[in-house]
Structure 1
């Protein structure tokens, strides 16, 4: 599924609003004159810019019929259950639970998959097929609010709420190993993953986090896609911020960064900046030449690199497996008794 950058709003409601705004300006000019009209015009432009940002970022209707037709995993010979997840603000998320066979379902990692800013989760099935068969993970695919068959309207606060609700849902299942939870996000999904991983409560529930071709912030992306002068727009005027570069420094979970060096939408230097600023003591950067924004997963070595990182984490001893610092506690206690 192709993710998209900045696009012109296509909503009929926005067009009607713009026409109404200019009509209001004309009436205001007729009664109050130039200076007041100029001030009103500036305020209206700012309001239009602020509220149009959701239309520029979120594209659940691309391609056509993405809100009503979601390809299912069985089309790619993947076993699945369709599940509904309720969020704290009463939004219903549409999700696919794709589990490994019953005999190993409880012993393998579970990957929570967050997609990009366009289409729906069904458009990512080829990549999910590869994860299922090469990495041998259980997979929960989640559609954000306002995408596919999920209810609600997309927003930054909404999407990060959806991520936490999905993690909470997995904690209620008894057919998986809760200590092997992986968050995976591509593009916009990477920003959602970073937000959850930086959370002091939810970050502790993760084995690791994986982000692919994601950005440092919406403001940085606007500079890249629109014009360098955009950096002078005050941050408070951005409705969606996704300050991943700031949040990544708070992350302590193991982190894997996957960067396609031929990405012509999100510059690879943003992935390098995220890696350099990541607060985790165990982090790794995988740079794949020839990988573009949407198809890095088809590059040779992609699944092998992820598998190697996960194997390294699984082979690490847990805190209970570490040998005690003292080999014989009773001798120490005996000396203390004698000293007394």
Structure 2
């Protein structure tokens, strides 16, 4: 191969690599955020035992049926002008022990968190479950900055619309949602922070999924969970699945160590197993953060 041909081959290879990296840069958020854009059903139609505000009590044996909760479909308003769908659910007939702000992961929408919402409400907690922009029929496209605005809209709803004291609010983050609530907690410290399957930062988990790409160089959204949680001075509980195939358990343990958090590890549990979505250990971990 002559020198001229070799130079041409190298140049072509460089151009191909540059074009591939440019394509990844352009579409990366489609790889990070996997929303279900389907509009979400009314909360009372999917939550066991739920009734809407003002509904008459159901007849039957209260000792054997699912405890009733009040379920509202509410709208959140972001600082950049978007309207987001959310559920606000609370136990019926008693004051909630605390309120849990639930930030979901990168996939689906809040309909997939209905079993968790129901169990938290049955445990005596009020719950606000919302969808990010681009999820659950909401307008907009998700990004790190966008999700920060979304969760602040949820926090304002609780503290301003419903006048819930910040010290009675527990933040719950699932996977990507761990980054969302951790960043919020730096500005608005909660009563406690529950992180389920947190990663060190988005680049660290991205490198596990795409080991052949220079992920840290390419990423537009960073979500530095470990760095941010180390700066918090609130109670933190980290729940991790021992066989998580999406977020390596070692990363969740690193986050727990950085936060001086209580670690709840569920042996054999994968990222989307029911035990990590709505299991007893998970619910107990949330209730352990309720202020006494």
Bigger Rg over Cα: 1
- 2:82 alignment partner, one of 80, 91, 105: 91
CA distance in 1, matches of 2:131, 2:236: 23
Q: Establish whether residue 288 from structure 1 lines up as the match of residue 288 from structure 2.
A: no
Alignment partners' CA distance in 2, 1:298 and 1:292: 13
Q: Does 1:240 align with 2:256?
A: no
The reply on whether 1:60 has 2:6 as its aligned counterpart is no
- Secondary structure (helix, strand or coil) at the match of 2:128 reads strand
Task: Give deviations 1:33-60, integer Å, cap 9, x for gaps.
Answer: 9888776655433321112111111111
Distance 2:29 2:162 in 1: 37
Distance in 2, matches of 1:93 and 1:72, equals: 14
Instruction: Indicate whether 1:159 and 2:147 are aligned.
Output: yes
2:244 aligns with one of 239, 255, 263: 263
Residue 188 (structure 1) aligned to one of 153, 176, 187: 176
**Alpha carbons 1:80, 1:97 under 8 Å: kept:** yes
Deviations 1:113-157 (A, max 9, x none): 1111111101111111111112x1111111000101211101111
Segments of structure 1 that go 5 or more residues without pairing to the other structure are 1-32, 62-66, 316-340
Aligned equivalents of 1:251, 1:81: Cα separation in 2? 32
Name segments (4+ residues, structure 1) moved above 6 Å: 33-39
Q: Would you say the 8 A contact 1:297–1:303 is kept in 2?
A: no
Cα 1:261–1:36 change in 2 (3 A) is closer
Q: Which residue of 2 aligns with 1:218?
A: 202
Q: Which residue of 1 aligns with 2:40?
A: 70
- Of the three residues 171, 195, 199, the one matched with 2:159 is 171
Cα distance between partner residues in 2 of 1:56 and 1:310? 33
Pick closer, same or farther for the CA change 1:210–1:69 going to 2, 3 Å. same
**1:212 Cα offset (Å):** 0.2
Q: TM-score, normalised by structure 2?
A: 0.81
Which protein is richer in strand relative to its size? 2
Question: Do the aligned partners of 1:194 and 1:247 also contact (CA within 8 Å) in 2?
Answer: yes
Partner of 1:8: none
Within 1, Cα distance between the matches of 2:84 and 2:162? Answer: 20
What is the DSSP-based 3-state SS (H/G/I as helix, E as strand, rest coil) of the residue aligned with 1:85? strand
SS in 1 for 2:268: coil
TM-score (norm 1): 0.70
Offset of residue 248 of structure 1: 1.5
RMSD of aligned residue pairs (Cα, Å): 2.3
Could you list the runs of 5+ residues in structure 2 that have no partner in the other structure?
1-7, 51-69
User: Aligned residue pairs: how many?
Assistant: 262
* Structure 2 contact 43–73 (Cα < 8 Å) conserved: no
Aligned to 1:274: 255
Q: Is the 8 A contact 1:190 1:212 kept in 2?
A: yes
Structure 1 residues 192 and 34, CA, compared in 2 at 3 Å: closer, same or farther? Answer: same
- Whether the 8 Å contact between 2:103 and 2:174 is mirrored in structure 1 is yes
SS of alignment partner, residue 265 of structure 1 = coil
The 3 A distance-change label for structure 1 pair 45 and 180 is: same
* Other-structure match for 2:71: 80
d(CA) in 1 for partners of 2:156, 2:111 = 22
Is the CA contact 2:191–2:289 (under 8 Å) kept in the aligned structure 1? Answer: no
